[in-house]
Amino acid sequence: MSKVLISILSDNLIANFLFYKEKQREFDEQIFITTPEMKDKGVGNNLETAMGLEINSTRRIEVPNDCYSDVMEKLESEDLPDNHEYWVNQTGGTKPMSIAVFQFFQRRDARFVYLPIGGKDFLDLTDKNVRYPITYTSSLNEYLALYGIRYESNSKITHGEQQLNDIFNKVKKSNWNLPTNLRSADTYYENPEDRVFYKGAWFEEYSYMRIKKDFGLRDDQISLSAKLYRKDSLVNDNEIDVIFVKDNTLHIVECKVSMCGNVTYGGVAPKDTVTDYLYKLAAIAKDLGLRVNAYLFTLHRMSKFSEGNLKGFDNRVKILGLKGIFDGNLLAKMPLCLENRKNPSIAESPTRKEKETTTETNISKETREQLVNIKVVGKIDLSTVYKK
């Protein structure tokens, strides 16, 4: 009796890929259930490429996209043996497809598995007490292949880890004010490579080094300055400063040392620069798949922005589905933490706390005595009613 894996294909293939990688040695055959739309997109070919299989080496059953009865009719016409042991990955496909596939294979005593979004285990829908933990971690190349994307990058750090840390710590000690050699690298250095490095490439390398080290990533899970290409295209669609796969989820990082430009000579205002990079990240994330965590790293002092600007950034971060803006104070924390934050673009900056409105709790005893007859309703700024 043959053991057969049934995979329902859709735009998001990571669940199909992971279950195959976990259980491939247990199956004698695999069948893709696909649709004309998925066929036109080359989804089956992408999955085979990521799995390391030859293109079109896997049997395909093409069913209508959204008609339950037509899906059932097509499955019945395939003459699938009743005596095979079927395992069905229910994670993909449309609802009509999923229901039809479930009912068809349920009559053949199949086992059904499902991976919830963000789940660490496959659920066994046949037995609620059984789970299949995910132990396989995909490489960046495998993950991108699922979406028909390839990338090119040497991922080499041109300067040592110690030098990168030294530059970062120097900027940190100056309260995130850039020293002259970084602020004016184009005129400070004669060597073109030095200009590129000190102008901003160093920060990309630093971010790459920190992410790789703090998260314990393999070389094949992360890339620096990656150029992304669609299928056989010779022109890259996007270039990403740092891209990596962690916990079988894709993460992208845009690194920007400063948001400042010379507005007088046609440069972009800092707040507009932030907004531009948020929209750029969102466009790239949308192009790469259903679950992409996108971050903007910067050494710009976010506390320089007005409260209104910061709230505007936060709203855009939420609306665009990004993880947030991480400034120097957040990046300086050890180890690096990229989890969700309540207000990711408002960093826990000492300079920001110094700007907070003075309240009654931090007023001197002498000042309290002079203000004893003032009636306070709610919170007020005492500097407006008391002057020495």
> DSSP readout, 174-193?
TTTPPPHHHHTHHHH-SSHH
Other Cβ atoms closer than 10 A to 310: 21
Quote the DSSP letter at residue 159: S
Q: Do 39 and 15 form a contact (C-beta atoms < 8 A)?
A: no
pTM, two decimals, is: 0.84
Radius of gyration of the chain (CA): 27
SS3 272: helix
Dist. CA 213–CA 210, nearest whole Å? 5
Distances (CA, A) of 383 to 85, 206, 367, 378: 78, 43, 11, 15
Class of domain 151-351: alpha beta
Dist. CA 325–CA 314, nearest whole Å? 9
Distances (CA, A) of 353 to 75, 298, 303, 306: 64, 19, 9, 13
Dist. CA 22–CA 24, nearest whole Å? 6
Q: How, if at all, do strands 3-8 and 249-256 pair?
A: unpaired
Tens-digit pLDDT string for the chain (388 aa)? 899 999 999 999 999 999 999 999 999 999 999 999 999 999 999 999 999 999 999 999 999 988 999 999 999 999 999 999 999 999 999 899 999 999 999 999 999 999 998 899 999 999 999 999 999 999 999 999 999 999 999 767 888 999 999 999 999 999 999 999 999 999 999 999 999 999 999 999 999 999 999 999 999 999 999 999 987 777 887 889 999 999 999 999 999 999 886 433 345 688 999 999 999 999 888 877 667 999 999 999 998 899 999 999 999 999 999 999 999 999 999 899 987 554 444 544 444 444 444 333 444 445 444 444 444 444 444 444 444 4
User: Assign residue 362 a region: left if phi > 0, alpha if psi is -120 to 50, beta otherwise?
Assistant: alpha
Dist. CA 252–CA 243, nearest whole Å? 4
- Give the closest residue to 360 by CA, choosing from 328, 344, 383, 338: 383
Chain centroid, CA 284 distance in Å: 10
pLDDT digits (tens, 9 = 90+) for 306-331: 999 999 999 999 999 999 999 999 99
CA atoms within 13 A on the CB side of 360: 12
Amino acid at 118: G
From first CA to last CA, the distance across the chain in angstroms is: 92
CA quadruple 99, 103, 108, 109: dihedral sign: positive
CATH of domain 3-136: 3.40.50.10770
Ranges of CATH 3.40.1350.10 domains, the chain:
151-351
Ranges of CATH 3.40.50.10770 domains, the chain:
3-136
